[in-house]
């Protein structure tokens, strides 16, 4: 369904075209100055610049050739050539009813769906997730939901970091702890035990220790490197151990992502493309893309657009080990060949920007990317109230379960202060606090543009006022409760009547959902959705102050208001769902 703004833009586009001007300049936007009109079209200014005409004359010519005049209550020229637009209430009525009757409440779809792979999450086996992985998970999940709604064929991949030096570190650390394990016996040829030799707690304790030791001790570090190379060459005992580490880790990660309500279509990792690498490297060599540099095999990259040099991408190190970039290159090959990707999005920390520039350049140069578009969707850091990357009380790294627990505790405190859900059962109250806590985490993460660094303050973000997930849940639940009470009294929604002064602003917000979705989609920026849903909640509150729905005695008016409330809830729930936020039944 075409949106109201798109429809107006096309009416104005026609009028611009009739005057020999690019129809794109007919774009109509919501007015910044509502007292002058509901919408505005500012295209006459750039148009007049091109044709060296007086912009007011151009704007007047556009107005003179405008079609469908019956829908406008007012059209006026202002300032140097702005066109202010106000629609008739009757026209608004037609529109709002069409949206209310649409199961997608007016949300748009892309004209040509693509196979889009979204690479996000990206946790590393045995290492605890840090706030960068959390952000990637929350932003990536929102994008996968949005792309899906827009009709793209989305495949999400968690792309586990399961093949780096950390695996060698874990192997040597385990060897130090339990040197007699069968996995370290080079004579043994298997089969290896099906049961892992360690638990998830062991695994989580081992990595920080291994990494600290390796940092201090160059000999240990060398041993870990060596173990990594042997693993990568397929030493059976190491490979069997690696499989245990990866399995244990994946189980814990699935639980963590599950508690955030995040799903991945694919649980592939760096290790999955290792079998593709030798052949890929050979082919690239025979095609002349690979050069030797200080014992390593590298791909020299062409300078970027502004003549900026890019460091070569290292494919194989002098010790034969492969790099992060090699693995990512092979993954692109797999995604293009096996999954027929038309587009791959990488929702990864902005600090990896250079890596992706090198990777994309190499993938294009060598033809590995084929026709697929490659795009890095970077984000900044999330700091704690102390201005340093956010951590839970456990210090060092962030444990997701601890973070969720802390948010839930804060939410429970705020609920108590605001006297919310205090007379419910303990169980229900805790569940609401959990949903509020998760909504707080996600909304705080998504509300600023992803590239800006932001501050996460659990105390503030669980408050029920201001721009918070908690406030939005409360607003949505309040509408639910109005609708429920109406139903109990036998009142149902009916056709929406032409708006008057009390309803018009809410309608104006309800019309803007398609642009919020489109904006978020085009810019890969869920903050547009956050902004929209907050403004919508505010508009509803103002509407509700003037229109007490349930006591209203005029039956048609009450039914119309109920329909507006219902539509408002549908739009809010749709957007919150895209943010990965679940709304409780009551609060």
Tell me the CB-side half-sphere exposure of residue 228, using CA atoms within 13 A. Answer: 22
Question: What minimum distance in Å lies between the beta carbon of 321 and ligand ARG?
Answer: 17
Measured CA distances, 139 to 348, 354, 356 (Å): 10, 20, 18
330 vs 562, beta carbon nearer ligand ARG: 330
- Whichever of 126 and 475 has its CB closer to ligand ARG, that residue is 126
Distance (Å, whole) CA 147 – CA 115: 10
Name, in order, each residue with C-beta under 8 angstroms of 573's C-beta and a sequence gap of 6 or more.
Answer: 476, 583
Is 229 or 344 the residue whose CB approaches ligand ARG more closely?
Answer: 344
- The bridge status of strand 373-377 relative to strand 343-347 is parallel
As a whole number of Å, the CA-based R_g of the chain is 29
Decide if 492 contacts 553 (C-beta within 8 A): no
CB of 40 to ligand ARG, least distance (A): 42
99 or 125: CB nearest ligand ARG: 125
DSSP H or E run through 358: helix 353-365
Minimal distance, residue 134 CB to ligand ARG, in Å: 12
Identity of the residue, 122 or 584, whose beta carbon is nearer to ligand ARG in the bound complex = 122
- Say how far residue 315 (Cα) sits from the centre of its chain: 31
Residue with smaller CB distance to ligand ARG, 348 or 581: 348
Q: Which is nearer to ligand ARG, 204 or 223 (CB)?
A: 204
Smallest distance from the beta carbon of 450 to ligand ARG, in angstroms?
15
Q: Which helix (H) or strand (E) holds 581?
A: none
Nearer to ligand ARG, 169 or 348 (CB): 348
Q: Do residues 391 and 131 lie in contact, with contact meaning Cβ atoms separated by under 8 Å?
A: yes
What distance in Å separates the CA atoms of residue 569 and residue 587, rounded to the nearest whole number?
15
Q: Which residues contact 346 (CB under 8 A, 6 or more apart)?
A: 119, 120, 356, 374, 375, 376, 377
CA distance 260 to 440: 12
Question: Which stretches of the chain bind ligand ARG, using CB under 6 A?
Answer: 119, 122, 124, 159, 161, 328, 346, 348
Residue 86 or 327 with smaller CB distance to ligand ARG:
327
Q: C-beta of 166: minimal distance to ligand ARG in Å?
A: 10
DSSP 151: T
Distances (CA, A) of 112 to 102, 116, 196, 269: 21, 12, 47, 29
| 3-class SS letters over 398-451 | CCHHHHHHHHHHHHHHHHHHCCCCCCCCHHHHHHHHHHHHHHHHHHHHHCCCCC
The counts of H helices and E strands in the chain are 20, 13
313-316/153-157 β-pairing: unpaired
Least distance from ligand ARG to the Cβ atom of residue 487, Å? 47
Q: Can you spell out the DSSP letters for 152-171?
A: -EEEEE--BB-SSHHHHHHH
- Of the pair 116, 475, the CB lying nearest ligand ARG is at 116
Give me the least distance between CB of 162 and ligand ARG, in Å please.
Answer: 9
Cβ 482 to ligand ARG, closest distance in Å?
A: 44
Structure tokens at 23: 């129809």
Q: Which is nearer to ligand ARG, 246 or 486 (CB)?
A: 246
Q: Which residues contact 97 (CB under 8 A, 6 or more apart)?
A: 495, 496
Q: At its nearest, how many Å lie between ligand ARG and the CB of residue 520? A: 22
Beta bridge partners of 389: 383
What is the closest distance, in whole angstroms, from the C-beta atom of residue 271 to ligand ARG in the complex?
12
Q: Which is nearer to ligand ARG, 204 or 328 (CB)?
A: 328
CB of 528 to ligand ARG, least distance (A): 24
Alpha-carbon distance of 439 to 537, in angstroms, equals 15
Q: Residue 19 or 352: which CB sits closer to ligand ARG?
A: 352
339/374 Cα distance (integer angstroms): 14
């Amino acid at each position: 369904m075409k949106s109201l703004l798109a429809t107006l833009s096309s009416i104005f586009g026609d009028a611009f075209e009739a005057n020999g001007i690019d129809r794109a300049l007919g774009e109509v936007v919501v007015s910044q100055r509502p007292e002058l009109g509901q919408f505005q079209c500012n295209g006459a200014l750039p148009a007049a610049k091109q044709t060296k005409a007086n912009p007011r004359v151009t704007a007047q010519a556009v107005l003179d050739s405008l079609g469908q005049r019956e829908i406008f209550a007012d059209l006026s020229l202002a300032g140097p050539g702005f066109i202010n637009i106000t629609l008739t209430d009757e026209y608004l009525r037609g529109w709002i009813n069409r949206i209310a009757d649409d199961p997608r409440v007016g949300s748009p779809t892309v004209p040509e769906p693509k196979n889009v792979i979204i690479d996000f999450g990206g946790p590393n086996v045995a290492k605890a997730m840090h706030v960068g992985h959390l952000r990637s998970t929350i932003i990536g999940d929102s994008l996968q939901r949005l792309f899906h709604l827009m009709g793209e064929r989305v495949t999400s991949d968690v792309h586990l970091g399961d093949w780096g030096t950390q695996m060698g570190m874990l192997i040597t650390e385990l060897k130090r702890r339990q040197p007699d394990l069968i996995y370290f016996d080079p004579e043994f040829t298997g089969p290896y035990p099906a049961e892992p030799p360690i638990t998830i707690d062991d695994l989580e304790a081992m990595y920080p220790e291994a990494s600290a030791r390796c940092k201090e001790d160059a000999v240990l570090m060398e041993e870990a490197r060596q173990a990594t190379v042997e693993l990568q060459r397929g030493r059976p005992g190491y490979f069997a151990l690696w499989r245990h580490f990866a399995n244990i880790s994946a189980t814990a990660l699935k639980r963590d992502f599950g508690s955030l309500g995040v799903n991945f279509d694919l649980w592939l990792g760096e290790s999955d493309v290792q079998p593709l690498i030798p052949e890929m490297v050979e082919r690239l060599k025979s095609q002349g893309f690979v050069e030797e540099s200080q014992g390593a095999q590298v791909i020299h990259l062409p300078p970027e657009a502004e003549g900026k040099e890019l460091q070569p991408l290292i494919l194989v190190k002098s010790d034969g080990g492969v790099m992060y970039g090699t693995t990512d290159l092979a993954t692109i090959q797999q995604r293009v060949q096996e999954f027929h990707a038309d587009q791959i999005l990488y929702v990864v920390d902005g600090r990896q920007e250079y890596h992706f520039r090198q990777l994309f350049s190499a993938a294009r140069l060598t033809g590995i990317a084929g026709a697929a578009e490659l795009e890095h969707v970077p984000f900044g850091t999330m700091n704690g109230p102390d201005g340093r990357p956010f951590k839970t009380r456990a210090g060092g790294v962030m444990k997701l379960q601890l973070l969720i627990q802390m948010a839930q505790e804060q939410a429970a405190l705020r609920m108590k202060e605001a006297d919310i859900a205090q007379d419910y059962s303990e169980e229900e109250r805790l569940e609401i606090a959990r949903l509020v806590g998760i909504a707080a985490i996600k909304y705080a993460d998504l509300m600023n543009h992803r590239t800006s660094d932001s501050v996460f303050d659990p105390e503030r973000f669980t408050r029920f006022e201001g721009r918070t997930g908690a406030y939005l849940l409360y607003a949505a639940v309040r509408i639910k409760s109005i609708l429920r009470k109406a139903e109990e009294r036998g009142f149902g929604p009916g056709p929406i009547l032409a708006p008057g002064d009390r309803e018009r602003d809410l309608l104006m917000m309800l019309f803007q959902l398609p642009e919020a979705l489109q904006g978020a989609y085009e810019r890969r920026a869920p903050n547009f959705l956050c902004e929209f849903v907050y403004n919508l909640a505010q508009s509803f509150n103002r509407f509700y102050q003037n229109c007490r729905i349930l006591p209203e005695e005029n039956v048609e008016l009450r039914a119309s208001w109920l329909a507006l409330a219902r539509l408002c809830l549908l739009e809010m729930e749709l957007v919150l769902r895209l943010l990965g936020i679940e709304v409780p039944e009551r609060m």
